[in-house]
Amino acid sequence: MKLVFASNNKNKIIEIQQMLPESITILSLEDIGCKEEIEETADTIEGNAILKANYVTEKYGYDCFADDTGLEVDALDGEPGVYSARYAGEQKDSNDNMDKLLFNLEKHSNRKAQFKTVIALNLNKEQHLFTGIAKGNIIKEKIGTQGFGYDPIFVAENDTRTFAQLSIDEKAIISHRGIAVKKLITFLSKI
């Protein structure tokens, strides 16, 4: 089975393709000739995932899935949330985003946070949503070189390492994206 993953984020594509069984091949937006940036204009994580999946299905006619992820920090009333990728500006720079988050948390003792991923799957003219949540804490400095985004400052519950210290395989077991992808795989394996 071939499915379009509505993303050109090579890190996400590699991470997800490694989790999928060999029977499922992912095509990127580039693979289907979609060069435009799909605007994420919804005000929820679910909304952005749906918006991207629907864009590909409606404009290109492919069965597809899209995800959106946000980091929700308790002490900041859920910030950066839906704005996680562009928290520090439209340049979408991970270091700038982490620096802003760490600065905003300086005066807070509550460092609880969760990553939330929602996958919207458009398959055979039906839409299905799969959610994964990883709860944890934001640490005070960046540690680790693996992963991407906020991984160097997020430590999952019941772990002592940041997501950026985990291998792709270790992260896939406990991460928000890994949990959502497992739900997607379970669904696809029943078809």
Q: Which residues are catalytic?
A: 68
The dihedral over CA atoms of 76, 99, 52, 178, expressed in degrees to the nearest 10, equals -80
Q: What is the largest CA-CA distance in the chain?
A: 50
User: DSSP code of 6?
Assistant: S
> What is the DSSP annotation of 65-106?
EEEEEEEEEGGGTT-EETTGGGTT-TT--HHHHHHHHHHHHT
Q: Which residues contact 9 (CB under 8 A, 6 or more apart)?
A: none
Beta bridge partners of 72: 80, 114
